[in-house]
Structure formats: C-alpha cells, structure tokens
Amino acid sequence: MQTDDLIRSLAVDLAPVKRNMVGRRIAFGILGGAVVTVVMIMLGLGIRPDLSTAILGSSFWMKWGYTISLGVGAIAATIHLSRPDARRVRWPWLLLVPFGLLTILSAGELIRTPRSEWMALLQGESWRVCPLLVLLLSIPILLGLLWSFRRLAPTSLRLAGAAAGLASGASAATLYCLHCPEASATFVLVWYTLGMGLAALVGTLIGPRFMRW
C-alpha cells in the first residue's frame, strides 16, 4: 500500500480521543477483572461472616493499608509505563515504604509475643493456601489489564508486565481481605507479600509476549 493511501485511510472516520484515556482504560480493565474476582470470592470462598465488625478493627485496616497502598503505587507505575515516552522515574522505591511499615508492625508483634507462639502468628490458619489464592484471584484482573494494554504503548514490556502483575496482585489481595480472617501482621508480611510477588512474577514473564504492539 502507498503511504499516502494509508494516511487517507487512517484519517477517515477519525474518532475524537478523550483526555486521560490511558487512566480510564486501565481503570476499566482493573474494574472488569475485579468484578470476576469478587464473584469468585463470594461463590468459591465466602465473605467472612464477621466482616461488619472486623471492618471496624485495626488488623483489618493494617491489611487494607498494606494492600491498597501497594495497589495504588503499582497502578501509578502501570499508567506511567503504558506511555512510550515514559522516562525513568525515581519514585518506584516508594513501593518499599508499605513493606517497611508492615515489617515494623510485624517486629513489634513478635516482640510482644512469647517465642513459643511465633509459629502460630506466622502460619495462622491458612498459610498454605493464602499465596496461591491471591495469585489465582489476581488472574482475572491481570487479564483485564492485558485488555487495557491492547490500546496502550509500553516500551519496556518486562517492567510494564511487572507493574501490571503487581497491580493485579495487590488488587486481588485487597479483595481477598473480604474473605481472609487472619489478623497478624507477620502473616500478611510473609504470605500476602508472597502472593502479590507471584502475581508480579507472572506479569513479568508474560509482559513481553502479551503486551507487544
């Protein structure tokens, strides 16, 4: 095809583009996946029966504080990396701040607890399944994000994949809190982080393959 013909065909039926389309598209992808994740939790795992009282407690907000702050950071990084002219930025290390704060909480918890009960804090009731459930619940959200990226233009595909994976993992972990009754910071620090890390790893591995354009 001649280049002039191509230009003519591209300019035909030109649809206007709203401002901030990147943010909207990423929000749609995450919300679309999150709906599926919530359904999976409600049908497969069940909402924790004491949710209405738990939501008033500090351990619930310790968990949400951790997963939501990581999610916000990861979504911001995903939006940033979805533009071709994204420059290297200095703020990704901010993602370590929630991790650091939770580590402090966990250390305080361990100091206050006799050594014989440390394993109980670490393992809770559900350490075997928690990371895998977070990973499983992140899949619909990651798929939603891959849909978002079909119109976006990342140039470092591994990094964009990692950010999208972490965003889906942190969103899934946030929703998983609606089910999970665990209350110890040590548990969250180890198993939630592992689940979200696995989701980020999946994103890193599939990014170069599914985010090409």
Partner 1 sequence: MRASEDQLRIMMIGGLEGDAGAYSALLAALVPLLRSFFGRRLRGADDDVEDLVQETLMAVHTRRATYDRDRPFTAWAYAVARYKMVDHFRRTRQHVPIEGLEDILMAEGFEDACNARMDVKRLLGGISAKQAQAIRDTRIEGLSVAEAATRGNVSEADVKVSVHRGLKALAARLKGEG
Binding to partner 1, residues 84-123 (CB under 8 A): 84-85, 87
CA torsion 38-44-46-47 (nearest 10°) is -20
Q: Does 209 bind partner 1 (CB under 8 A)?
A: no
Which residue lies nearer to partner 1 by CB, 82 or 184?
82
Among 36, 155, 205, 206, binds partner 1 (CB under 8 A): 155
Which residue lies nearer to partner 1 by CB, 154 or 169?
154
Q: What's the one-letter identity of residue 25?
A: R
Among 37, 78, 82, 184, binds partner 1 (CB under 8 A): 82
Count of residues near partner 1 by CB under 8 A: 28
Select the span of 35-43, 77-85, 105-113, 171-179 touching partner 1 (CB under 8 A): 77-85
Q: CB burial class (10 A; 0-12, 13-18, 19+) of residue 49?
A: exposed
In the complex, the smallest distance separating the C-beta of residue 169 from partner 1, rounded to whole angstroms, is: 24
Q: Report how far residue 155's alpha carbon sits from residue 141's, in angstroms, rounded to the nearest whole number.
A: 21
Residue pair 149/67 in contact by the 8 Å Cβ criterion? no
Tally Cβ neighbours within 10 Å of residue 20: 10
Tally Cβ neighbours within 10 Å of residue 151: 12
Q: Report how far residue 169's alpha carbon sits from residue 137's, in angstroms, rounded to the nearest whole number.
A: 8
Select the span of 58-66, 107-115, 145-153, 169-177 touching partner 1 (CB under 8 A): 145-153
Q: Which residues form the interface with partner 1 (CB under 8 A)?
A: 1, 3-4, 6-8, 10-12, 14-17, 19, 21-22, 25, 82-85, 87, 151-153, 155, 212-213
